[in-house]
Amino acid sequence: MSTDVFSAALQRLDLGAAHAKVHPETLLRLRQPKQLIEVSIPVRMDDGSLRIFTGYRCKHDDTRGPAKGGIRFHQDVTVEEVKALAFWMTFKCACVGLPFGGGKGGVIVDPRTLSTAELERLSRGYMRAIAFAVGVDVDVPAPDVNTGPMIMAWMADEYAVVTGKREPGVITGKPVAVGGSLGRDDATARGGYYVLKELEKRLGWSERSAKRVVIQGFGNAGENMARLCAADSGYKVIAVSDHTGGRYNPDGLDIALLAAHKEETHKLLPAARCNAGTREISNAELLELECDLLVPAAIENVITEANAGKVKAKAILELANGPCTPGADVTLRGKGVHVVPDILANAGGVTVSYFEWTQNKSGFYWELPRVHEELRKKMGAEFSEVYDLSVEKKIDMRTAAYAHALQRLAPALESTGTRRVYAKE
Ligand code: NAD
């Protein structure tokens, strides 16, 4: 099976379609993005030189509402990856019942090589280049890997400069002071955590012994997940990592210590300065640790046919997009590992982005407890639907999540007619 990320995404569509009432024309339409834009962004560097960066924005589908999806700044961004990420957003928004389609953007850049002023010029330049294609009811970007609230604030501000009107709902994940939602900062992890609380009920995990959690990635998704699990007596986080490597302690890591160090230095605390009994570990070793829950929260394609057989976790909660390849899925299913798929597990971020967008549109801002409660209700209800469908049809949760999403996408795409209507089949 292919590990090309867009082909992998399409393979999941076919699996889900086998269990949903969907017309072949709908599948044909969903196999291609509706719009794909490539832009070049000239940026004046601090030393006076000019660099041209390449960026993309993809609108996969907007039948159920404006396209929605983040912007990634990474040196490995490719057009295929942007298309796959936009495709996943269409299915994610449908899976959790948000009135959005799917979009995604990316710029080929290693942002760590830029000064803050260069990063601002790049962010503003990217928004200037795609401004004609985004809008509060058209396509609504958000943060993704290596982009955060300040970059969203620069982009919202640039959009206001270009269009002459200040429309905060054009982008989500903004700082709270300029129309961001309370609770957006840890929403992806919190949504995943609420899903985990439902999963533990279904799996009958008792709270008597703390379940061991391993997390790959210590950024927005991974670090917040580590904090939430560490604060829950039912769990102990035994390993975390970033792109430089991991830290492992079978008795549980002191997450507060790691988080404080990262806040100060943007780096993972060396093992020698973690709580006693911690040692360094590679990312490859981390994925194969004996544990109850493995949370990939970094990048795509980390669990493949090559290492899936060595995964010892009882369950996997995909906070990253696309961490398991289709080939890995087959192996994991055979081993009885419960995989809560990305389009469900990490939908907390886009759900609170939806709350932010509705707050921007109405001009009425919510208190934090309301954000948490609405998120908990949404994630719990959609998890239950997907889990029950997987039990009813005897399929894995990924296939069930795609089938569940298609049950919302198909009526929308078919509302304007299929061959059945025109040819009176
Ligand atoms: P981030 O940039 O805040 O953090 C990424 C983390 O992964 C960092 O700790 C980085 O060091 C680590 N990392 C990068 N390459 C790695 C590698 N090769 N091996 C191990 N670790 C590596 O990004 P994020 O926002 O936390 O996003 C992480 C994943 O979650 C992505 O797949 C993203 O698409 C997905 N996601 C994020 C959100 C969100 O709201 N932030 C929402 C949905 C999905």
For residue 2, what pLDDT is reported?
A: 42
Q: What is the mean pLDDT of residues 254-262?
A: 98
Whether the predicted pLDDT of 424 surpasses 80: no
Whether the predicted pLDDT of 3 surpasses 70: no
CA of 50 to the centre of ligand 1 (A): 29
78-99 as b/e: b if 16+ CB within 10 A: eeebbbbbbbbbbbbbbbbbbe
Ligand 1 within 6 A of 346 CB?
yes
The residue whose C-alpha atom lies closest to atom 30 belonging to ligand 1 is 320
Whether the predicted pLDDT of 377 surpasses 70: yes
CA of 329 to the centre of ligand 1 (A): 21
- Higher per-residue confidence, 107 vs 210: 107
For residue 420, what pLDDT is reported?
A: 82
For residue 425, what pLDDT is reported?
A: 60
- Among the listed residues 83, 104, 174, 378, the single catalytic one is 104
For residue 371, what pLDDT is reported?
A: 98
- With bands split at pLDDT 50, 70 and 90, how would you rate the model's confidence at 8? confident
CA of 208 to the centre of ligand 1 (A): 31
CA of 419 to the centre of ligand 1 (A): 42
For residue 406, what pLDDT is reported?
A: 98
For residue 1, what pLDDT is reported?
A: 37
CA of 222 to the centre of ligand 1 (A): 7
For residue 56, what pLDDT is reported?
A: 98
Ligand 1 within 6 A of 299 CB?
yes
Ligand 1 within 6 A of 147 CB?
no
The residue whose C-alpha atom lies closest to atom 31 belonging to ligand 1 is 320
- Per-residue pLDDT reduced to its tens digit, 334-357: 999 999 999 999 999 999 999 999
- Per-residue pLDDT reduced to its tens digit, 403-422: 999 999 999 999 998 888 88
Best of 76, 220, 240 to mutate for ligand 1, by most ligand atoms within 8 A of CB?
A: 220
Ligand 1 within 6 A of 216 CB?
yes
CA of 185 to the centre of ligand 1 (A): 14
- Per-residue pLDDT reduced to its tens digit, 162-204: 999 999 999 999 999 999 999 999 999 999 999 999 999 999 9
For residue 382, what pLDDT is reported?
A: 98
Ligand 1 within 6 A of 220 CB?
yes
Whether the predicted pLDDT of 329 surpasses 90: yes
Q: Which atom of ligand 1 is nearest to the CA of 321?
A: 32
Is 104 labeled as catalytic in the residue annotation? yes
Q: What is the mean pLDDT of residues 301-323?
A: 96
Best of 302, 346, 352, 375 to mutate for ligand 1, by most ligand atoms within 8 A of CB?
A: 346
Ligand 1 within 6 A of 219 CB?
yes
Ligand 1 within 6 A of 322 CB?
no
Q: Which atom of ligand 1 is nearest to the CA of 173?
A: 40
Ligand 1 within 6 A of 298 CB?
yes
Whether the predicted pLDDT of 370 surpasses 70: yes
